[in-house]
Amino acid sequence: MAAWRAHSESVEKLMTRLPGNDATVVYIDVAALRRAHVLDAFTAPAAMQEPEYRAFVNQTGFDYARDLDMALVSFSRDGTYFLLRGRFDWPFLKDYVQNKGGTCYNTFCRAQGSTPERMISFFPIGKNLMALAVSKDQYAAYAMQERRPARQFTPPNEPVWSLIPGDALKETGSLPAAARIFARALGNASQILVSAGPEGDHIELRLDVTCRSADDAAALTADLRQATAELKQQAVKQPPGPGDIAGVLIAGAFDQKDLHVLGRWPIERSFLQALGNPG
């Protein structure tokens, strides 16, 4: 378990750099996933990687599967903000930006992304810590220079987690049909914490929903149990495939604790492998 444990204090401090209190935050302890050989399921062979990514690796020497140790990401209305810990060759990164037509001033670099609305900017907070932003604002990464008041939130010990405001799940069109049922039920929650970590010989996905009242928590627990029962009935008629999220969701179990609704789903490694290598 120690190999999976996140360093909560350092993550809490890093979170004070992220703009947007209403943003969805995602944390990934990439180094822990690498040590546990979970990352292998999502690492495509070199021949299958995108040409742009291969060119980036060749010119900068940076490969996330080898060199990235941690990612803390904030998805806000005005852009996506990354705090990345790993091994960076800063001179190579600077040359890469300039070769792509971007500019660097001292240690701050900016470049055009794949569309005019996607400007990429980054700078080193430390030797092994990068602040990077993708936004309409070509200087967006500067927002992570300063710290903000700490949130009333203690990061969990799991190597992967996401803190989601309830409003973020009110638009469910991009989700798989099976997940849409659960997202709609969670749309009125105050705060949603989803995390994943080891449990015996499999991975367990965990849910901790903060509701506005105990009555709301009781109603949500009933809704989630009902949604699970409906998925089970559908699975009898049409069994889910190896990489189908419905196969995970039908195994959900839920409990209420005061204002909180707690849920858990076991995830087999075969599901991760199918997800990472579709087809």
Last residue of some domain: 98, 115, 144?
144
Q: What is the pLDDT of residue 45?
A: 55
Q: Which two tokens stand for residue 33?
A: 């996933």
Same domain, 28 and 135: yes
Q: Please give the full DSSP string across 247-273, using - where no structure is assigned.
A: HHHTT-EEEEETTEEEEEEEE-HHHHH
Q: Please give the full DSSP string across the chain, using - where no structure is assigned.
A: -GGG---HHHHHHHHTT---TTSEEEEE-HHHHHHTT-GGGG---GGGS-HHHHHHHHHH---HHHHEEEEEEEEETTEEEEEEEE---HHHHHHHHHHTT-EEETTEEEEE-SSTT-EEEEEEEETTEEEEEEESSTTGGGGGSS--PPPS----SSSEEEEEEGGGGS--TTS-HHHHHHHHHHTT-SEEEEEEEEETTEEEEEEEEEPSSHHHHHHHHHHHHHHHHHHHHHHHHS---TT-THHHHTT-EEEEETTEEEEEEEE-HHHHHHHHS--
4 in any annotated domain: no
152 in any annotated domain: no
149 in any annotated domain: no
Is the pLDDT at 269 greater than 80? The verdict is no
Q: What is the pLDDT of residue 41?
A: 63
pLDDT, tens only, 102-142: 999 999 999 888 777 888 999 999 889 999 999 999 999 99
Provide the number of structural domains found in the chain.
2
Same domain, 108 and 136: yes
pLDDT, tens only, 64-102: 888 999 999 999 888 899 999 999 999 989 998 998 899
Is the pLDDT at 147 greater than 50? The verdict is yes
Same domain, 34 and 117: yes
pLDDT, tens only, 175-218: 666 677 777 778 778 889 999 988 877 889 999 999 989 999 99
165 in any annotated domain: yes
Same domain, 138 and 166: no
Is the pLDDT at 2 greater than 80? The verdict is no
Same domain, 165 and 130: no
Same domain, 140 and 23: yes
Q: What is the pLDDT of residue 5?
A: 40
Same domain, 182 and 272: yes
pLDDT, tens only, 18-36: 987 788 999 999 999 888 8
Same domain, 25 and 123: yes
271 in any annotated domain: yes
Same domain, 108 and 166: no
187 in any annotated domain: yes
7 in any annotated domain: no
Same domain, 131 and 30: yes
Domain that holds residue 248: 160-276
Same domain, 134 and 164: no
Last residue of some domain: 144, 168, 189?
144
Same domain, 63 and 125: yes
252 in any annotated domain: yes
Last residue of some domain: 144, 178, 197?
144
